[in-house]
Structure formats: C-alpha cells, structure tokens
Structure 1
Amino acid sequence: MSLRRMTTTVAAATTLAAAVGVGYALGNDPGSRNVPPTAPPIALANADLTVAGSCDDLLDSYVERALEQVGPYGWGGGGIVMFGSQSDAESPSASAAGSERSAVTTSRSTSNESGTNVQELGVDESDVVKVAGSLLLRMRDGELLAYDVSGDEPSLLSSTRIDDARGNGLVGDPGGELLFVGGRAVVLGTSDDGLSTTITTVDLSDPSSPSIVDATTIRGRASAVRLHGDVVRVVLQNGLPELDFSYPDGTLGQIRSRLRNRSLVRDTTLADWLPTVDGDPLVDCEDVAVPDDEEIALGTTTVVAFDPASPTSRTTTAVATDSDTSYFSTDRFYLAAGGPQWGMWDDCLDCRMGGFAPTGTTPIFAFALDRAETTYVASGEVEGTIADRWSMDAVGGSLRVAVGPSSETGNFNSVLTLREDGSDLVEDGRVDDLGVDEQIKSVRWFDDLAIVVTFRQTDPLYAIDLSSPSDPRLLGELKIPGFSEYLHPLGEHRLIGMGQDASLDGMTRGAQAALFDVTDLTSPRQIDVVRYDRDTFAGAGADPRQFTWLPEQRVALTVVSQGWSGTTGWVSVLSLDDGSMTNRMVEVEHGSDVADVRLVPVASGKVALVTGEDVSFFRV
C-alpha cells in the first residue's frame, strides 16, 4: 500500500470476513437485563476480559473495585489528580540506516471530501463543519445551518434548532459536532455538566426543509465519534459516579466519614456505572467485559454503533474501565486503559489529554469492526504511557505505538510494533532511546515509516523505518530549536510541522511553521521556517482540524491565535515554492470562536471560511 491516511476521504470501511473468537451478541432488549443467558453471548478471546455471570455479579465487580478507591473525602481519599499528558538518542550508523532501506518514503496525501482533516484514510471524524457536493453544514449556538456553496457566495438554505431528547435547548454545547452520511446529519451535543450526550439525527434529503428523525440523550460523555462507511460509532465514557459523599467533622470524623462513603458506594446500582437513557442502562450486562487488572481506571467505556438510516437500532459493546485514549483504524478499534484519575474533564472530543499507566504498563484491548458489530479479539500491554490517539496506528495487521516513559521504562521514548498472535497482542519489534529526558510532542505514521518529535530544549525529529515490523530501525534524526505539535505530509518528500519556536534553553517564544525535507530519511532537514509573533499559538497543535492542505495550489491554510483574555485569530496562508514558504496573515476572528474557525475546500474549487458568525469564501 502506498496511498493511505493523512488527510482523508470518506470511504467505505474494510469489513472482516472473520474474527478471532465469537462476536458479541449485541442487543438492547431491556427485558433481558436481569436474566442470565444460558450461553455466554460473548466468547472472550482470552482471560484479560471476563463477563459477569449475572447483572448482580457485574454490579458487585464495580462495587468491589470502587470500595478500594473511596476514603473519608470521597474518591481518591480527597486528593485531586488533574488530567494531563504524560541526553539525546545516538544517531544511527550508516550501515544501520543505509541504502537497503532507502525505499522507505512518506505517503502522498489527498483532499478530504467531508472537509475534515482527520487521522485515518477511510474513517471520517465529527467536526463543526461538513461538506457534501454543493452542500455545507455547520453547527453554531445549537443550530444546524445548511448552506448552498455552489454560487458566488454561500447561501443559507435552512436553520434547525438542536435540542435534547426532551425538547430542551442544551446549555453546555448544544450540538457541537456532526457527521454527514446518506443525506442525514448526526449531531453530537454535550450537556452543561459534561456528563450527558445527545445524539440527534436530522434528515436533509431536502436541505431547505430538514426534519429531526431522532434525538436520544445518553448519560455518558462522548470522547470520540467516527464514521465507517455508513456506520456511526460513538465512544462514551462513564467515570466514577457522583455521590453525596460526606467529609470528616469532629472526633473520629474520618472513620465515620469513610464508613458512610463506603455505604454510599455499596448502594450504587448499574445505572450509576453504565450509560443510561431515561435512567435505564443502554448496554446489557452480558455486553460488558470486565478487565482482570484491578489497577486500571474504574468506570465504563462503551462503543455505540448505528446506521443513521435506522438511528434507533443500535449495537453496544462496553469495557468496565474509563479511558479517553482510543484509536480507530478502518477495521479495528483499540482502547488503551489508564490508571485511576480524578479531577477535571475536558469537553473537546479527541483532546490530547493523555493517560496514566496504572503500574508502569498500559493495557490495550483490540476489537474487530464488521459493519455495526464491535468484537473483542485480542489484548496485551506495553511498558510506558500512551499520550493520545495519535500515538497509535495500525496497518497490515501491525499495531504501532509510540510510548513515553513510566516506572517500568528508562527515561526515554520508544516506538513498538505489536501483532495479533491468536488472542494476544504480542510485541513484534521496538526502537528505544528516542528523546532521552524529553517528551513526545507529535507522531505521524505512514505505511512503513514513523516520524516522532520529542522536546525538552531542542526538537529532535526521528525517522523510523517500519517496513519490517519485527525489525524497526531508527534511520535518522534532526535537532533544531522549538518543536512541532502537528505534522502533515506535503507529498512524497516534504512535511510541514506546526508548533512552537523556542530558544536554545527551551523557552517557547511563539508559534512556528517548519518545512522539512525527508527525501533522505537518514538525514532529514529543515529547509525553511516561518516564525509568528511572540505568545502566539498554532491551532493545529491542539486540533488538527484547523489545518488545511491544498495540494494543487501548494498552499497550507492554518489558524494562528494570540492572547488569553482577549484572543485574536488569523488564517496563516503558507505558499510553498521550491523548498521555501511565504506567509500572508488574514485576521478572521476574535474570542472563543477562534477555536471553531475552519477552512474547507468545496466542490467548486473554492475554500469556505467558517467563523463564529459567518460562512464566506476565502481568497487563497
């Protein structure tokens, strides 16, 4: 394979003719919840995940683990752990990185038909904007707006208010992102407390007169939304229940408080642990797999799959752990489990939040995707921490993972390859000692190559040959000031990196765009750099959807912002010519709306600029 991921086109997902083990029998019959099946509907591939014999047993498994985590001040004994991410590597010799591997190249990128810059070719992602031919859809303040973009200027066709399932406008993020398939939009909205998700299906067969087909509010936070062919998959997280915990007061207060808090945990029901609709669990007990590792984060991660043509017919698969680190390929779903976490949540889908390895190792669960089914097939673990979904990639039966240091590793980063050996994910090969004493800032995967950027004071960019998964090799590295938080391919031999400029002592100064030549992967070069004003930020570093590559024009469009209390956003127009970049800055937005600025190519060849209040055509 030579042409794959980077910026994507919406394509039908590859289905599996067979999978290891027997798949999930995925039903939502509420009448079956309290009746143990005569035969297990899930034949688990190995002992890393088990299925409770009954709903009572499932609840007991949650409660038993929870009792170990509750103290006199509530979860975690009252301490608050905030969510967060988690000498240089020696250059390879000429013999190790020589001509025998010189055929390794980057892949070309193609334009994305849906308008979203995504991770994986063939797997579309939710966004605030979608395009389909002459139709552009965008979400703004709880309204789904449809535009005709075939003329000289965008023309508004309709506006549809998106409410929750009870007809109430959502206060938090009322329909923040959407997908579009088969003439229907699927809109995802988050409640003000961040704990509920409303999935609304809107029929746009007549864009001038849309109709809402279904609106379902689920108690659970959506952390990822993907489209495989005509199947929408939503990953929902349910963390530790919000209970009315007491706090120590007076003599023997801690003992009394601990006992009362433990009693509250014992009184929980499955509705406190599982995603629910109108108070009833969305997933059946027999469809919840329980990890045997009791040290991973407690909660529930559920994959809900449905075809928007029949939005109320859903399949569900759940794992009894809370994790926001998941990755979808065209035919696999990988869930990386983290350690116990307490504290703040972030309302951005697919944010680069990072996870905590429970004991220095990170368990990984693999599921096969076949139409609407999500079937557990294998699991394993890696030593180290997995920062986010961009640290994982799968191609040709090989899972590749970039990991940071943990208590079970040295103080360096690594790239590992894993393969499915029966029901186990086993290590196939690895490269260590990447960025000693440094942190991974970005990873970009290709068919047979990984580009990894780490940073402490300088920015080592590592090129790793993955053409032989069992024998990955470090080809070359480049050390420069600053770092790239997002990498994008510009054809076979060029990469652009959006990130931060930095002084030689590691102090960041402002956003930068760096152009790399990777013609010779044993000696990658930075051939040009654009430095923006002090205290600016490159939006693509946190949200790659704020980057657009126009290959025919050889132009990159990316959002750059400045300021905290008063924010200004620009579109940086980077024109590439013979190995150099010229930059033109266009001020487009202010305030919190800067985060939703998008630049979307449309069928006419124009580029639509979507800002907080307007949709217009952008002059490239």
Structure 2
Amino acid sequence: MSLRRITTGIAAATSLGLAVGVGYALGSDPGPDEPPTSPPISLANADLSLAASCDDLLDSYVDRALGQVGPYGWGGDGVVMFGAQSSDAGVTESGAGSERSMATTSRTTSNESGTNVQELGVDESDVVKVAGSLLLRMRDGELLAYDVSGDEPALLSSTRLDDARGNDWMGDPGGELVFVDGRAVVLGSSPDGRSSTLTTVDLSDPTSPTVVDTTTIEARASAVRLHGDVVRVVLQNGLPELDFSSPDGTFGQIRSRLRNRALVRDTTLADWLPTIDGEPVVECEDVAIPDDEEVALGTTTVVAFDPAGPTSRTSHAVATDSDTSYFSTDRFYLAAGGPDWGWFGDCIDCRMTMPAPDGTTPIFAFALDGMDATFVASGSVEGTIADRWSMDAVGGSLRVAVGPSSETGNYNSLITLREDGSDLVEAGRVDDLGIGEEIKSVRWFDELAIVVTFRQTDPLYAIDLTDRSAPQLLGELKIPGFSEYLHPLGEQRLIGVGQDATLSGMTRGAQAALFDVTDLTNPRQLHVVRYPKNSVAGAGTDPRQFTWLPEQRVALTVVSQGWTGTTGWVSVLSLDDGSMTNRMVEVEHGSDVADVRLVPLVSGKVALVTGEDVSFFAL
C-alpha cells in the first residue's frame, strides 16, 4: 500500500468523503496521466486539519510526542507507568399541568439479532447472534452454529478460527461477532490486546461454514457496529511501544531523555497508524489532525467493509486516541479525551472515562453513507463524557450528558448541540444535576432524558428535550442506591438495574428498581428487588446481559456474586400491577458468567447461552 500525497479528487472522494458547503473533500490518487492537483483542499473547520504530505503527518505525531517523552519514557519527566491512552417503549409525559404526547425511545427490546443494542437499526457485536432459526455463538475460539427450531438446540457445525498468521485465538477466546446476509464477521484480539483479527465466515450452509477472509490489524478494536450490510470497526492506536531506556549514573537522566527522544524521532507512520502486514490501513489524506494538542495522542480509525467483499475497505481516522465513540443510524461521533497514563484496557465497548483535555472535551461528527464517512462538524463541551451511553442523536440534534471538570462547577449537565455549518454549537443546556455526584446512567428518548447520579443517594432526573434550545428539568426523585442501566417497560414504567446502598452511600449489593414515570414532574419508585450482599448486576457494565420480553412482561438480567469463586444467576423479574416478583435461576460459574446471554427467538422461546452450553430457558 503506497502512502499517497493529498489531492483534490472531488469527483472521487475517498472514505472521509465530500462535505458539500460545510466540510471538506479528501481525494483519491489522480490517474497515471493526470498531474496532482495543487494546493490540497483544507478543512473548513479549524478544529481539524490535514497534513500536506505523509511526511508532514508523521511530523505532526512526532512533534506532539516529543513533549510527552522523558528519561523514563512516556509520561514526560515523571516516573514511567506503561501508558497508552486507552481506554461500548415510550413514556407518557405530563408536565406543567398539561398532557403531552408520548415520548419514544430508540431502544425498547433486543433487536432481531438478539442483542440489546443502543440504537435501533445499528447492531452491535456480541458473543451470540440469531437469524431466524439459526443461532451463532463464539466459545474458546470456535464459531458454533445451532438450529434452534426444534425441541432442543441442535449443533450444526463448529469452525475453529485462527488469526491471519495461523496463531490460535487464545488472546480473546470468546470473540464477538455480527451477522449479515449469511456471513458472520468475527472479532478476536491478541493476548496483549494490541492487534485485532477480523474473520469473515460464509454460513450460507450452516452445516459446512467456509472461512472467506482472515485479516489481522495491528490496533485495538474498541467497537464493532453494523449499519445495514456495512460493518464498521473502531480501531485504536495509542502511543507506540518503544525500547525506552531508564536513567543510570550521574548524567543518566539527560542521556536517557536524549536517547528516548531520538527513538520517538525515528518512528514511522506504521508506529502510529493501524497496519496490515506492516502497511498502514488508512491513507495519509484520510487522517484528520485535531488542532488541540492537549487531546490524547494516538489514532482512532474507523474501517468499513461489506462482508460480501471483506477485502475491499474504506477507512478514515482522527489523530487522537479515544474509546468514547457513538454511532447513530447516520452519524459517527468521536469524543476526544486527554492523556491517560496507566492501565491499558483491552475490552470492547468498555466504560473507561478519559480526562477531558484542559477540562473541555472536543467532539468530531461524521456523516455515514454506505461505506463512506464524511466529516461534517466539530465542537466541544466543557466537562467529561463518561461513555457512549452519555451521547445521543435525534432529529439533527446531538445531546450529551457531561460530568464536572476543571472548567465546570462541581455538578453534571445535559447539553444539546446542533450543526451550524461545520461547527457543533451549543443550543441549550441544563446544569446543577447531581451536585458533587457522578453520572451513573442515562436513558435517552426523542423528547426526554432520564439521568441518574450518585454519591450517597440516587437522584433520578427527568429532563424535557422538546425544545432543544431550552431543555427543562421537570422532576427528580432521590432514593438510596443507584441505577447503572435504565430500560423502558412500555409507556409508563422504567426499570433500573444497579446497586443498593445505605443512606451514607455504602453499596450493599445489586438491585432492580421499578419506576413510574407517568408524571415526569413526580417520578416514583414503585418496587425494589434486592439481591444478595456484594452481588453485581451484569447489565450495569454490559447492557447485553439484560433482556426485556414485552409480551410476557418479564425482564431477564444476569446477577453474579463472589470473588475467589463466582456464581451467576438469571433473575426472572415478572411485572404485575406496579410490583415485581423475582425468581433466581443459577446458570453459570467463574469467568463464564460474563458471557451469559438470554436471547429471544422468533419461536417465542428464549435461548440461554452459557460458557459450555446452549439451551432453552424456562420462563
């Protein structure tokens, strides 16, 4: 793969595409008989820029990196910690004494693939997928296919998956997948979490699957999404792992700093960009450079492809490392964080808040169209964005729940943003949510947001978003404990899964709480189910462990307990007239508890997927 110079090929815009009137164009190579166009088109938005050449792109990485390297390596003059910036039903409202139209949410039940997703129409990778009577699951590096149309699930095939080098998938023995048009795209990762393998498997005959393509990319995958028949993978590259020296002797720090800076100067683009067989996946002209030098240094790349032709890919990137990315049906938003020296995460869609650079979080917006992505706008919010669940887009408006930073008061806020040309500008806001507290969960509706914060009690805030320029706090409810995940249960009910706590704020164990949100000026808690001491509700960190069955009025959620030994249950919560009855079913033990799924099937049955088995769950 050649590293091309930027041209103005407007007629053949590449993956970052053409933003007519408000953005920019990034082009493809001129033909062999065509001279390159000069000068290249610049970004219309000053928050991002393009390098004039691959050499200039590399210089932009190196120049920023030199300020972050010291005698111990990354981290400047501080003691080194191996650091890579790292880090996935409606409600009837009544307010102001008048009845308003029913609000709707984009996510009410598991989607047709069986996964409880953030956005209707945007599927997410999971350890299990269903398509009609076919169920696929990953287990210990194997893709297993089951027929779930009979009295019991029947195993059809088992396909062992290796990386592109023929190595066994022991880094991520579970793996995750999406499924479209008879083909599965499976994601696995290396033991150190620094490379990702995408395997496309043809299951047109599920009794005899065929591996179509296996590609290993040197980058960490932090999200996988499916828009129609287009798979998008978000890849992260943090600071390169270099052979840094440490101080030794009288002048050790000076010598060590000079040597370490020389190592940074000797880096190539292959050290900063995701690569396949040593060649960058993304072209130089498809990498946008933030003007804020305080954002985390690295690269976040989105690679898109159709599983029908998995080797034909488009890619675009922003020269910052961030795992806070959110996809709507037609937009991709990337929230940049600040440097984070310390632990390197290797999970998909994990919740790891990165500090805001200078107390302000930049946000970059891209429009999605087929396999293309076009930069359309960027802006910033004062404060920190905890994770993708803190962002939501509807009707051309981006809504963001932010926590405090050095540029805010000690409170949380909800901010609405609109696209004005190539800028994301603030349209409205509500402040003073949970003073001195932390945002634990957010649930977005078309014209409503429910925000939960916590320090000692659980304030649940209902915010009217009908007028995006003037969001209004309608009501709040303060109770012990907190909800880490919220799910609507029809028009007037909401369930929160999280932690029970004492009045002093000490957590005691998992809980599920039923809320009445008929009157948003006066939300009420109707009933609480408390689980054993020191238990944890899986949906709090992974909403894929929650399933709502609207016809049966039953919620299924995974609860676990234990440290040296772990037991996992399925909590069967049956709703009736404002109360819940609970039945606990022990299903799994150990680390396999994290992969337990309850999958609704077209037959009306529910498949229980555990570490070693697939069975039908008795409701």
Tell me the TM-score normalised to structure 1 length.
0.92
Contact conserved, 2:434 with 2:454, CA < 8 A, in 1? yes
Report the alpha carbon displacement of residue 82 of structure 1 after superposing the two structures with TM. 9.6
Contact conserved, 2:332 with 2:366, CA < 8 A, in 1? yes
Question: 3-state SS of the aligned residue for 1:61?
Answer: helix
Contact conserved, 2:461 with 2:477, CA < 8 A, in 1? yes
Alignment match, 1:596: 595
Q: Summarize the Cα distance change of 1:615–1:361 in structure 2 as closer, same or farther, 3 Å threshold.
A: same
Q: Which moved further from structure 2: 37-46 or 163-172? A: 37-46
Contact conserved, 2:270 with 2:279, CA < 8 A, in 1? yes
- Residue 487 of structure 2 is aligned to residue 485 of structure 1: no
Contact conserved, 2:18 with 2:25, CA < 8 A, in 1? no
What amino acid is aligned across from residue 118 of structure 1 in structure 2?
V
Q: Summarize the Cα distance change of 1:571–1:371 in structure 2 as closer, same or farther, 3 Å threshold.
A: same
Question: 3-state SS of the aligned residue for 1:402?
Answer: strand
Output the CA distance in 2 between the equivalents of 1:401 and 1:248.
Answer: 45
Alignment match, 1:135: 134
Report the alpha carbon displacement of residue 83 of structure 1 after superposing the two structures with TM. 8.0
Question: 3-state SS of the aligned residue for 1:339?
Answer: coil
Contact conserved, 1:104 with 1:448, CA < 8 A, in 2? no
Q: Summarize the Cα distance change of 1:36–1:306 in structure 2 as closer, same or farther, 3 Å threshold.
A: farther
Output the CA distance in 2 between the equivalents of 1:333 and 1:42.
Answer: 23
Output the CA distance in 1 between the equivalents of 2:520 and 2:194.
Answer: 46
Contact conserved, 1:512 with 1:532, CA < 8 A, in 2? yes
Contact conserved, 1:496 with 1:516, CA < 8 A, in 2? yes
Output the CA distance in 2 between the equivalents of 1:155 and 1:50.
Answer: 54
Cα deviation code 1:163-184 (max 9, x no counterpart): 1012211221146100000100
Report the alpha carbon displacement of residue 492 of structure 1 after superposing the two structures with TM. 1.1
Output the CA distance in 1 between the equivalents of 2:336 and 2:225.
Answer: 19
Output the CA distance in 1 between the equivalents of 2:189 and 2:549.
Answer: 32
Question: 3-state SS of the aligned residue for 2:175?
Answer: strand
Contact conserved, 1:459 with 1:480, CA < 8 A, in 2? yes
Output the CA distance in 2 between the equivalents of 1:109 and 1:581.
Answer: 19
Output the CA distance in 1 between the equivalents of 2:183 and 2:367.
Answer: 26
Report the alpha carbon displacement of residue 38 of structure 1 after superposing the two structures with TM. 2.8
- Residue 604 of structure 2 is aligned to residue 605 of structure 1: yes
Alignment match, 2:181: 182
Question: 3-state SS of the aligned residue for 2:57?
Answer: helix
Output the CA distance in 2 between the equivalents of 1:322 and 1:349.
Answer: 15
Alignment match, 1:550: 549
Report the alpha carbon displacement of residue 22 of structure 1 after superposing the two structures with TM. 4.3
Output the CA distance in 2 between the equivalents of 1:572 and 1:526.
Answer: 19
Output the CA distance in 2 between the equivalents of 1:543 and 1:123.
Answer: 17
Alignment match, 2:212: 213
Question: 3-state SS of the aligned residue for 1:117?
Answer: coil
What amino acid is aligned across from residue 57 of structure 2 in structure 1?
L
Cα deviation code 1:118-140 (max 9, x no counterpart): 10011000000000000000000
Q: Summarize the Cα distance change of 1:342–1:533 in structure 2 as closer, same or farther, 3 Å threshold.
A: same
Which structure 2 residues correspond to residues 518-533 of structure 1 after superposition, within 5 A?
Answer: 518-533=517-532
Contact conserved, 2:84 with 2:238, CA < 8 A, in 1? no
Cα deviation code 1:35-89 (max 9, x no counterpart): 995357775331211111111100000000000000111000334479899xxxx
Question: 3-state SS of the aligned residue for 2:245?
Answer: coil
Number of equivalent positions: 592
- Residue 314 of structure 2 is aligned to residue 312 of structure 1: no
What amino acid is aligned across from residue 371 of structure 1 in structure 2?
G
- Residue 153 of structure 2 is aligned to residue 157 of structure 1: no
Alignment match, 2:7: none
Contact conserved, 1:84 with 1:354, CA < 8 A, in 2? no
Q: Summarize the Cα distance change of 1:282–1:40 in structure 2 as closer, same or farther, 3 Å threshold.
A: farther
Question: 3-state SS of the aligned residue for 1:255?
Answer: helix
What amino acid is aligned across from residue 424 of structure 1 in structure 2?
D
Contact conserved, 1:104 with 1:465, CA < 8 A, in 2? no
Q: Which moved further from structure 2: 160-169 or 304-313? A: 160-169
What amino acid is aligned across from residue 401 of structure 2 in structure 1?
A
Alignment match, 1:448: 447
RMSD: 2.2
Alignment match, 1:76: 75
Alignment match, 1:261: 260
Alignment match, 2:6: none
Report the alpha carbon displacement of residue 348 of structure 1 after superposing the two structures with TM. 1.9
Contact conserved, 2:18 with 2:26, CA < 8 A, in 1? no
Alignment match, 1:89: none
What amino acid is aligned across from residue 322 of structure 2 in structure 1?
S
- Residue 251 of structure 2 is aligned to residue 252 of structure 1: yes
Output the CA distance in 2 between the equivalents of 1:237 and 1:495.
Answer: 35
Report the alpha carbon displacement of residue 579 of structure 1 after superposing the two structures with TM. 0.6
- Residue 121 of structure 2 is aligned to residue 122 of structure 1: yes
Contact conserved, 1:19 with 1:377, CA < 8 A, in 2? no
Which structure 2 residues correspond to residues 102-117 of structure 1 after superposition, within 5 A?
Answer: 102-103=100-101, 105-107=103-105, 109-117=108-116
Output the CA distance in 2 between the equivalents of 1:17 and 1:425.
Answer: 15
Output the CA distance in 1 between the equivalents of 2:136 and 2:21.
Answer: 37
Cα deviation code 1:144-167 (max 9, x no counterpart): 000000000000000001110122
Question: 3-state SS of the aligned residue for 1:296?
Answer: coil
Output the CA distance in 2 between the equivalents of 1:576 and 1:457.
Answer: 28
Provide structure 1 residue ranges, at least 5 long, that are not aligned to the other structure: 1-14, 86-95
Report the alpha carbon displacement of residue 264 of structure 1 after superposing the two structures with TM. 0.4
Alignment match, 1:201: 200
Alignment match, 2:97: 99
Cα deviation code 1:271-298 (max 9, x no counterpart): 0000000011111111111111111000
Which structure 2 residues correspond to residues 439-588 of structure 1 after superposition, within 5 A?
Answer: 439-588=438-587
Output the CA distance in 2 between the equivalents of 1:562 and 1:38.
Answer: 63
Output the CA distance in 1 between the equivalents of 2:116 and 2:21.
Answer: 30
Question: 3-state SS of the aligned residue for 1:169?
Answer: coil
Tell me the TM-score normalised to structure 2 length.
0.92
Alignment match, 1:21: 23
Output the CA distance in 2 between the equivalents of 1:462 and 1:83.
Answer: 32
Output the CA distance in 1 between the equivalents of 2:185 and 2:52.
Answer: 35
Output the CA distance in 2 between the equivalents of 1:70 and 1:105.
Answer: 51
Identity %, equivalent residues: 81
